[in-house]
Amino acid sequence: MAEFFAANLSTIAVALGLCVLVGAIVWYLVRQKKAGKSSCGNNCAHCAMRDKCHKV
């Protein structure tokens, strides 16, 4: 088992780093959603989803 980790240490380190990065992004997005913030730019005239968000 130790031989496996020694042979693949760089791959394992990169994979763990990516997992931490993705986890941090998800955590940030969940916090923003719970705070009521949105990614909406308030430019409904040019938005492809304008009919879905606001009933005209």
Q: How far is CA 50 from CA 7, 53, 55, in A?
A: 53, 6, 8
Q: How far is it, in rounded angstroms, from Cα 11 to Cα 6?
A: 10
| Cα angle: 54, vertex 46, 36; to 5 degrees | 50
Task: Indicate whether 36 pLDDT > 80.
Answer: no
Task: Indicate whether 20 pLDDT > 60.
Answer: yes
Q: For residue 39, what pLDDT is reported? A: 67
Q: Return mean pLDDT, the chain.
A: 85
The whole-number average pLDDT for the span 16-36 is 93
Q: How far is it, in rounded angstroms, from Cα 17 to Cα 9?
A: 12
The answer to pTM > 0.85 is: no
Task: Indicate whether 38 pLDDT > 80.
Answer: no
